[in-house]
Structures are given as C-alpha cells and as structure tokens.
Amino acid sequence: MTYRIDCLQYANWSEKIFRQMREGNVDAVHVTIAYHENFRETVLNVEQWNLWFEQYPDLIMKGRWASDVAEAHETGRTAIFFGFQNPSPIEDDIGLVEVLHDLGARFMQLSYNNQSLLATGCYEAEDPGITRMGKQVIKEMNRVGLVVDMSHSADRSTIEAADLSERPVTITHANLHTWQPALRNKRDDVVRAVVENGGMMGFSMYPHHLKGKSDCTLGDFCAMIATAAERFGAEHFGIGSDLCQDQPDSVVEWMRVGRWSKEIDYGEGSASAPGFPAQPDWFRDNRDFGKIEEGLRAVGFDDAEVAGLMGDNWHRFWEANFRPAGAS
C-alpha cells in the first residue's frame, strides 16, 4: 500500500479544504497548531480540532500513530497530525513535552525565525547552537516520541540537533539553498547532517522558497528534488508543502512577529506590508498532488521512488519515531 502524505500545512481550515484533501486523495497531513501560542492557547487549538473531528468524521480523523494513516486511507479520510513551529507551547517547562505528546503533538520546531530557549532561528545574525535547555528538551522529545523539527532553525543549531538527538530529526518544510538561496532553505552540509543521522526533509511549495517564487515551474521544482535525491538519496525526502491556503494576509504578521516586536518583520517577501504570495499555478491546493507525481516521473523517478517521495518515506519515518523510545 502506498500513501500520500503532506508533512506541513497551515491552512485556514474549513469543510472546503477538508473536502479538497479527499479529492486529492491525501491520506495524512501534519498541521501547525501553534506558532507563538503558549500552552493554554495551544490547548484551545486542540479543542478546535477536536470539534472539527466531531463535525466532519467522514472527512478527517485525529492521527496519533503511523497506523492511523492506514486507517484513514482505508476509510476514505485524512488523518491530521499536530505539530508546533515554535517551542512556545512548552513555555519554560520540560514536563509539558510529554503532556503535549499525550494530547497528540508529534512534531515541534526548536525555534522559529528567532532565538528561542532551545535553539537559534535562521534570521538571527549569530548562531550559538543548541542551548542547555535545548539539550535536555531534545532528550525528552526523544524519550516520548515528539519529533525534533529544525525547519526554521539556523545552520549550526540544526547540525548540532541532528548530532545530539538519539533519534532522527526532520526539516519538515524547506528546499535546497543551492537551488534558491532563501534564508529558510537548507545548505548541503545541513541537509547532510540531518539525513546521515536517519532524518528526513520535506520539500516546500511556499513561493518565497521557490526559484522564481510564484512563477516557479513544476519542472524546476521536480528537478531540484532530483538533485537532492542524487546527492543524498531519495529515501530521505518527502513533501512538506507549507500550504497556507485561504489565510488572510494579517496571519503573515502573526507568523513573523507574534508578540515579540512592535515592528513589522517583512521576512523574505516584499518591502511592503507582509502578505501571502500567490501559489504557483501547478499547486493551488490539496487537489494538485497528482501533478507533483507527474512531475517527478517526468524527471526520471521510478514508481517506487515516486511513492516514497509522495508519502511512503514519511510513513516509514512516522512508524519509527512517533512512539516512545523502546516501544514496539
């Protein structure tokens, strides 16, 4: 059995999007439920998702384990797995790592764009690496089965996390820096550190991380994936689209600024007010995953490699890493 998995979306969720997931035969999605939220605010987001699971049981289900992907596939639904783009939900309390895993969290970034209590974000001028608390939190995440995500972290912090972690770490949504030199994209030494320790990386369709941005072609995107596969092995990669469908532009300000600044952080977009760029025409929403499969075949991937890149590689990784250490 093969699966179609997207390892990062932050959409403005609605019945429309849930139905599009089903039209696109998407078996599982890792959804962001916290950017800068504290623990209590994150719990409120869990409550909202529980309500959606109750309202749309024929479309979506809560995902906790890799086996839930198979259940979703067999019952014609999409399994939703929770993750955080910042460690803010654990506040300054390492005990909340296990509590949040019990609530369904399966991924946590050690930093967003800034320095956190755990690691350095990619927008900081200096990167001192993983902090003392960060080392302890990585150990606890390894113990309970909360996957370390370094998507927005700086280079040294990411390499150190990959080396310190006793379980593989991820970059759930980014592209190759050699292909498009955005701050968020990953240099080869960073990718190598992650994959050599058994980790995985998901490729992003967020336009600021694409060559040509919104005008990036499907051929260019898939050629980049082919380059990554040639350098590091196709088995280490999947999709992490970073789809922010139907979000108002005001949400970009929340993503980049949160509550830490009175000034607007324009990020890697335009110098005007932040807003969401237009998606490339070959990936507007969840119904377009089939186009990516076609693009991967067009650049020379065989059926098994395409299946891996579209979801089977993530599924294998999830099987090994969502459960507590030592659990069968």
Question: Which 3 state secondary structure label does DSSP give 168?
Answer: coil
What single letter denotes the amino acid at residue 231?
R
Beta-strand pair 170-174/78-84: unpaired
Q: What is the pLDDT of residue 265?
A: 67
Q: Is residue 30 within 8 Å of residue 6, measured between CB atoms?
A: yes
- Residue 326: inside a domain: no
**Predicted confidence (pLDDT) per residue in 104-130, tens digit:** 999 999 999 999 999 999 999 999 999
- Residue 10: inside a domain: yes
Q: What is the pLDDT of residue 249?
A: 84
- Residue 59: inside a domain: yes
- Residue 327: inside a domain: no
Domain span including residue 183: 5-321
Per-residue pLDDT for 168 more than 90?
yes
Sign for the pseudo-dihedral over CA of 147, 150, 156, 159: positive
Q: What is the pLDDT of residue 272?
A: 55
Average pLDDT value for residue range 129-135: 98
Looking up tokens 């849930």, which residue turns up? 18
What single letter denotes the amino acid at residue 210?
L
**Predicted confidence (pLDDT) per residue in 204-214, tens digit:** 999 999 999 99
Q: What is the pLDDT of residue 258?
A: 84
Q: CA angle, 320 as apex, 296 and 137 as ends, to 5°?
A: 110
User: Left (φ > 0), alpha (ψ -120 to 50) or beta: where does 98 sit?
Assistant: alpha
Average pLDDT value for residue range 12-33: 98
Q: Is residue 9 within 8 Å of residue 242, measured between CB atoms?
A: yes
The residues, any chain, with a CB within 8 Å of residue 275's CB and separated by 6 or more, are 249, 252, 269
Region of poorest pLDDT, from 141-155, 180-194, 263-277: 263-277
Per-residue pLDDT for 319 more than 70?
yes
| Nearest in space to 134 (alpha carbons), one of 152, 161, 153, 166 | 161
Q: Tokens for 23, please give them.
A: 């039209």
The residues, any chain, with a CB within 8 Å of residue 214's CB and separated by 6 or more, are 207, 277, 278, 279, 280
d(CA 270, CA 70): 42
Region of poorest pLDDT, from 42-46, 101-105, 275-279: 275-279
User: How buried is 111 (Cβ within 10 angstroms: 0-12 exposed, 13-18 middle, 19+ buried)?
Assistant: buried
Sign for the pseudo-dihedral over CA of 226, 231, 234, 237: negative
Q: How large is the C-alpha radius of gyration of the chain?
A: 18
Q: Tokens for 42, please give them.
A: 């994150």
Q: Give the rounded distance of the alpha carbon of 319 from its chain centre.
A: 17
The overall average pLDDT reported for the chain is 95
- The enclosing domain of 213 has a CATH number of 3.20.20.140
- Residue 192: inside a domain: yes
Number of structural domains in the chain: 1
Model confidence, pTM: 0.96
Q: What is the pLDDT of residue 221?
A: 98
- Residue 221: inside a domain: yes
Question: Which 3 state secondary structure label does DSSP give 9?
Answer: strand
- Residue 127: inside a domain: yes
Query: Could you report how far apart the first and last alpha carbons of the chain are, in Å?
Result: 21
Helix (H) or strand (E) run with residue 156 in it: helix 155-164
Helix (H) or strand (E) run with residue 238 in it: strand 237-239
**Predicted confidence (pLDDT) per residue in 241-287, tens digit:** 999 999 988 887 777 788 888 887 666 654 455 678 999 999 999 99
Q: What is the pLDDT of residue 264?
A: 73
Q: Is residue 151 within 8 Å of residue 173, measured between CB atoms?
A: yes
Average pLDDT value for residue range 83-102: 98
User: How buried is 98 (Cβ within 10 angstroms: 0-12 exposed, 13-18 middle, 19+ buried)?
Assistant: middle
Question: Which 3 state secondary structure label does DSSP give 8?
Answer: strand
Q: Kindly state the percentage of the chain with pLDDT values over 90.
A: 89
Q: Is residue 253 within 8 Å of residue 264, measured between CB atoms?
A: yes
Q: What is the pLDDT of residue 213?
A: 96
- Residue 145: inside a domain: yes
Beta-strand pair 78-84/105-109: parallel
Per-residue pLDDT for 61 more than 70?
yes
